[in-house]
Amino acid sequence: MSRGAFITFEGSEGCGKSTQVLRLAARLEQAGGRVLITREPGGTAIGEKIRDLLQFAPESFAMTPETELLLFEASRSQLVRETIRPALEQGTVVISDRFFDSTTVYQGIARKLEPDIVAALNNFAVGPNRPDLTIILDVDVATARARMLRRVRPVAVVDRMEQEPIEFYERVCEAYRELATREPGRFLLIDGAQSPDEIENEIWDAVSKRFPMFTVPEKSQIENRKSKMSRARLCPST
């Protein structure tokens, strides 16, 4: 069986990536593909506990940047081995809402931890399982902050990762743009200020060109659909 495809979404908080993850998955499924959506931190039972600890647990406000880095990597190494690798081996298209580029950007650049250590830990966590395509939704900090503030959360739930000063998110946005120029073959930088429909179409164009095997329905599926349609026309009551 041929390997699936691994697509990741990146961008600052409020860039609109979660919406686009769902839209891309729906279109791939319509084209007959098998799709798995996951996210970081999280995506496994262990990872979701780590997500809670990183973002929402009251104790997390005492967390050092080094502990934070190691927890993101712990969540990632579990997700890669428990979920992503087996799915790719079965020919599934895996879409992840964030992956190791988030660590390069948030912990390496925005938190200013040693980039070589961040790169080494990223490599250790993912091994050979690297994204085939990474879509970055690029929005300016003001738009991202405004969208972040509109998010509805239960009262008293505070996301620690959303409490940083504006300069932190400026470094995040700038670092993503810089990353996109470093590896143009893997990254697709999209203007996140466009409408959700425009973004969806731009993503679909790029994904169709890159992965025709997952975006064009197989001949047998087209025949199947055609015969269902003509059957429906012949027997409209059934």
Site of interaction with ligand TMP (CB under 6 A): 13, 40-41, 72, 97-98, 102-103, 106-107, 161
Q: List all residues 6 or more positions away from 109 whose beta carbon is below 8 Å from its beta carbon.
A: 115, 171, 172, 175
Task: Answer whether 106's CB lies under 8 Å from 172's CB.
Answer: yes
Taking the complex as a whole, the smallest distance from the CB of residue 122 to ligand TMP amounts, in Å, to: 9
Residues in the chain: 238
Taking the complex as a whole, the smallest distance from the CB of residue 81 to ligand TMP amounts, in Å, to: 16
Taking the complex as a whole, the smallest distance from the CB of residue 39 to ligand TMP amounts, in Å, to: 6
Determine the 3-state secondary structure of 191 from DSSP. Answer: strand
Taking the complex as a whole, the smallest distance from the CB of residue 88 to ligand TMP amounts, in Å, to: 19
Taking the complex as a whole, the smallest distance from the CB of residue 209 to ligand TMP amounts, in Å, to: 27
CB nearer to ligand TMP: pick between 106 and 211: 106
Tokens of 215: 């975006």
In angstroms, rounded to a whole number, what is the distance separating the alpha carbons of residues 130 and 101?
10
**Number of C-beta neighbours around residue 44 at 10 A:** 19
Taking the complex as a whole, the smallest distance from the CB of residue 69 to ligand TMP amounts, in Å, to: 8
Identify the H or E element spanning 138.
Answer: strand 133-138
CB nearer to ligand TMP: pick between 69 and 88: 69
Task: Answer whether 94's CB lies under 8 Å from 38's CB.
Answer: yes
CB nearer to ligand TMP: pick between 106 and 187: 106
In angstroms, rounded to a whole number, what is the distance separating the alpha carbons of residues 230 and 105?
53
Tokens of 96: 């992840």
In angstroms, rounded to a whole number, what is the distance separating the alpha carbons of residues 39 and 79?
9
CB nearer to ligand TMP: pick between 187 and 214: 187
CB nearer to ligand TMP: pick between 98 and 214: 98
CB nearer to ligand TMP: pick between 106 and 214: 106
